[in-house]
Structure 1
Amino acid sequence: MPNRRPTAQDVAKHAGASRSAVSMVMNGNADGNVSPDMQERIRRAAAELEYTPHPIASGLRRQRSRMIGIVTDEAASSPFAGRMLAGASQAAAGHGYLTVIADAGGPAADTTHFIDELRRRRVDGLILATQSLRTIVVPDGLRLQPSVLANCRDAAGTMGAIIPDEVRGGREATEHLISLGHRRIVWIGGGVDVDARPARIRGFQAALAAAGLPPGEVVEAGWDIDDGFRAAEALFAPENGPRPDAVFCASDRVATGALLAARTAGLDVPGDISIMGYDDQRHLADATVPGLTTMALPHEGMGRVAAERIIAALDSNAEIGAETTLLECPLVVRGSTGPAARA
């Protein structure tokens, strides 16, 4: 063969078939149009010549680009975005699709321009992904073709979404602490602008109620290390009354601050107090001393399931639907939690 990419015409000549027969076999439309024996000859010829259909040409014939657009609010600064994008990209590649990513630059940014631009570039479907769990007003352009939300929800409730099961995560984190014998558990951290906070607190309180324990104290703070330090420092101060058995922190960064406050107060973790995080932030939760017990957010899974839902709808020519899929947040046990101290 010449030193060039083999063509469908080359396969047709090698198999003794027509060019149209090769096209039908390669596109999956041969049954009923091409005899089984000829189909086998064409596939054998394609394998011998190492022929594969050109994806762009095939897409143009089918009016498909085989590209999925992903618009994010702040991928560049998020410690979790890489997992979500990798999950979507790997799932898409497994079905012969390419992902194209546009970063809007921040949660307050208008994503309309990026959605419209990707649509002009003929992506087959769109994923709108956010760094933190939020309820959003969906841009109109997202409703004009197959689209799914990842880590966010449609305020109107009419678009499908893939989100973490935060209530279950909050409940299972608290159940872990209760199973270790902790009875006075305090929640600290979390800003009110993120939907995850109230959902995790609902799970926290539900676990306490199911165990016959009184409602847990909720200490308001932010999401960062210094927020956790200040909140925990006040909790651990002797003048503020009995110290809790354990603290359940809104994020791993808050939990890192609580670890520092415990060390400053001369407390052993987990000997004197257990500290529970949330997120499983890479290079943080596994790098503290001791390592943080935490709930892992399913970012890779959100990206993967979002891409698979779009591709399934495209391949079956079906509607995506408005269902919300909840993904489990697995418990990751490390050294920051242990049996309750005995008086």
Structure 2
Amino acid sequence: MSRKATSQDVADLAGVSRSAVSLVLNGRGDGNIAPEKQAAIREAAARLEYTPNPSAVSLRSRRTRTLGVVTDAIASTAYGGGLLQGASELASRSGHLLVLVDTHYDERREAEAYRTLRERRVDGLLFAAMSLREYDAPAAPQGIPFVLANCLDPRGAVPGFVADEVQGGRDAARLLLEAGHRDVVLLAGNRADIASTLREQGARAALEAAGLPALRTVETGWEISGGVRAATAVLTGPCRPTGLLCANDRVAVGAVLAANRLGLSVPADVSVVGYDDDENLAAPMVPALTTIGLPHRAIGEAAVRRVLGDLEQDPGGRRGPGTVLVPCPVVVRDSVAAPHPS
């Protein structure tokens, strides 16, 4: 059509009311509009190349349709890309734009970032951390939803969305236990890190539930070199284990390298489980690593969904402060097999 499509045009093509179009294209369709009608509205909008006028929407709602995101280092690394992608795509589907500020762990930059975003009248605020940690969150301005992604407020005043690391550690151990392994060693990362402690807690719980002796652990750090050193010591020492749980995929790569240097085959002689599902390591490895994924994308989506729910004062989306645990996916590949019979 020669003129710009309107929401009424979309409504007519989809066979729905204009208010239904508004609800769906402003991210408020779930729970209000049937899924098949939502699909019809989005298809009609795409065919007509219709997009809501941001200025008109802002004037009607007295909102800027922007969400401010402050990060410590995520924006300057590839590692946290999934979190930002999940947050950005969900925000975009609801007609919101993310305004991102990376502070590089500089407290002065961080304070300035919050001040600038408030001055720009963002509708909601998120803080996203590179690695799971505690974060002393500042008080959000009255009426502006504020959530944390991949970090925890030690006071419990600001809701935080984080990976369920305890269950992740439990699932990692179960991968070996269900394959028949009974002699397992954990190549732990750094016990000063929250994630390492929680993963170990879950792994210990899995072995205890299976009636096995306490989990043996070796602190390795998070790098390939640490995995090589620790795995070499464990695999050449007394009571060689049949399964290795690794702090992350880099440590797991180190463990596989160590096993190969010792003439051991993975998984025929020793099974290895990683953690993170690092796209640059886990799948390309030989053998491809069985691992536990970090749900960064789901964390970003959940954090934005909470902000949007609070903005709409949706009873189903509004919850009090606290921590929301996001499940870690189990990724089965080739590095785990049943142990050789003794």
Map of 2:308 onto structure 1: 311
Match of residue 263, structure 2, among 263, 266, 285: 266
- What are the residue-to-residue correspondences of 1:109-128 with 2, within 5 Å? 111-128=110-127
What is the deviation of 1:50? 7.8
Q: Deviations over 1:80-112 (max 9, x none)?
A: 311111111111111111111111124888622
Q: Deviations over 1:283-331 (max 9, x none)?
A: 2101111011000111110000110110011012776520321111111
Percent identity of the aligned residues?
A: 43
| Shift, 1:245, TM fit | 1.0
What does residue 337 of structure 1 align with?
336
Q: Give ranges in structure 2 of 5+ residues lacking alignment.
A: 9-17, 24-44
Cα contact 2:188–2:200 (8 A) shared by 1: no
Gap regions ≥5 residues in structure 1 = 12-22, 29-46
Per the normalisation by structure 1, the TM-score is: 0.82
Number of equivalenced pairs: 313
Matching of residues 174-185 of structure 1 within 5 Å: 174-185=173-184
Partner Cα separation in structure 1 for residue 3 and residue 122 of structure 2: 29
SS of the residue 2:312 aligns to: helix
| Cα distance between partner residues in 1 of 2:124 and 2:207 | 43
SS in 2 for 1:68: strand
- Residue 76 of structure 2 contacts residue 102 of structure 2 at CA under 8 Å; is this kept in 1? no
1:111 aligns to what SS in structure 2? Answer: helix
Please state whether the residue corresponding to 1:254 is helix, strand or coil: helix
Question: CA–CA distance in 2 between the matches of 1:90 and 1:190?
Answer: 32
Structure 1 residues 113-145: Cα deviation after superposition (integer angstroms, max 9, x where no partner): 222222221111011111111111112347772
Flag the 1:281–1:143 CA change in 2: closer, same or farther, 3 A: farther
Of 295, 298, 311 in structure 2, the residue corresponding to residue 298 of structure 1 is 295
Distance 1:75 1:122 in 2: 23
Select between 265-274 and 65-74 the one with higher mean Cα deviation.
65-74
Asked whether the 8 Å contact 2:140–2:146 carries over to 1, the reply is no
- 2:54 aligns to what? 55
1:157, CA displacement in angstroms? 0.8
Counterpart position of 1:283:
280
Could you say what the CA RMSD is over the residues aligned between the two structures, in angstroms?
3.0
| CA distance in 2 between partners of 1:337 and 1:26 (Å) | 50
Matches for 1:215-234 after TM superposition, within 5 Å? 215-234=214-233
Where do residues 203-222 of structure 1 align in structure 2 (5 Å cutoff)?
A: 203-222=202-221
Partner of 2:241: 244
**TM-score when scaled to structure 2?**
0.83
Structure with bigger gyration radius: 1
**Which secondary structure does the structure 1 equivalent of 2:68 belong to?**
strand
Cα drift, residue 183 of structure 1: 0.8
Distance 1:143 1:213, change over 3 A: farther
Please give the secondary structure, in 2, of the residue aligned with 1:133.
strand
For 2:176 and 2:20, how far apart are their aligned partners in 1?
59
